[in-house]
Amino acid sequence: MTQITNYITNDYKAIDSRVTISDVQGFISDLSFSHFPVVEEQIYIGSVATEDIETFISDKKIIDYRYSFEKFFARTNMVWLDVLEVFAQNHTNLVPVLDEENKYVGYYEIGDIMGFFNETPFLKEPGGIIVIKKALVDYSLSQITQIVESNNGKLLGLFISEADSVNIQVTLKISLGPMNEIIQAFRRYNFEIISDHLEDNYINTLKERSNYLDKYLNI
């Protein structure tokens, strides 16, 4: 699989801290980025929001607004899931990339990272999706893995899709196999099944009993 660092780009140079706001406004107006990196002698000093640039005084320099810079970034040694988290936490479509010495090396674009995500086994390999929920205090990643594998399933990937102070919701991608057995095993371990499944015998039985009751009551 392609390394995520292959998606680092320098199609546009980072903004030099010494340029004027008017120069930046002309540059940014042709782009669709939510933020853009600013460097000082090739050292990353933050990202400026493009919507903020429109409000800055045109004859000042970009460094005069350093107080407004946001400091998010990715490292060259980050795995793709950590990079995706930086995008999500900072509501941006561009993330600067720094090396281990904090030198600016380029940036990631969200479209490229999502394209990389599409090539991972989680999305590319055939399988089924199960969404489960459990109390946060009882959550165990090892237990989830054990339940899947002990029922002859193969876990292709998982991520926490929702969480609060009480419960946690996990989305699983499982290779095609005994889905019903895996679903029922999760129920036995007090997991709530959030997703709907044609293979779910428990739900199908409840539906059959409900239909039977409706017919009985309508007699």
Residue 13 is classified by DSSP as P
Which residues are paired to 39 by β-bridges?
16, 44
Using 50, 70 and 90 to split pLDDT, how confident is the model at 129? confident
Q: How many CB atoms lie within 10 A of CB 195?
A: 13
d(CA 204, CA 219): 23
Half-sphere exposure of 182 (CA within 13 A, CB side): 28
Task: For residue range 7-62, list pLDDT tens digits in order.
Answer: 999 999 999 999 999 999 988 888 899 999 999 998 999 999 999 998 999 999 99
pLDDT at 117 (0 to 100) = 73
Extents of the domains making up the chain: 4-117, 121-199
Does position 212 have pLDDT exceeding 50, yes or no? no
For residue 85, the model assigns a pLDDT of 86
Q: Out of 3.30.70.1290, 3.60.20.10, 3.10.580.10, 3.40.50.920, which CATH number does the structure's domain 4-117 have?
A: 3.10.580.10
pLDDT at residue 206 tops 50: no
Range of lowest pLDDT (7-21, 69-83, 110-124, 171-185): 110-124
The 10s digit of each residue's pLDDT in 145-155 is 999 999 999 88
pTM assigned to the model: 0.64
**If you average pLDDT over every residue of the chain, what do you get?**
86
- Measured CA to CA, the distance from residue 154 to residue 151 in angstroms comes to 9
Q: Report residue 210's pLDDT band, with 50, 70 and 90 as the boundaries.
A: very low
pLDDT the model gives residue 71: 95
pLDDT for 127 beyond 80: yes
**What is the DSSP-derived secondary structure letter of residue 165?**
S
What pLDDT shows up at residue 215?
47
Domain spanning 121-199: CATH superfamily? ACT domain (3.30.70.260)
For residue 59, the model assigns a pLDDT of 93
> Is pLDDT at 217 greater than 50 in this prediction?
no
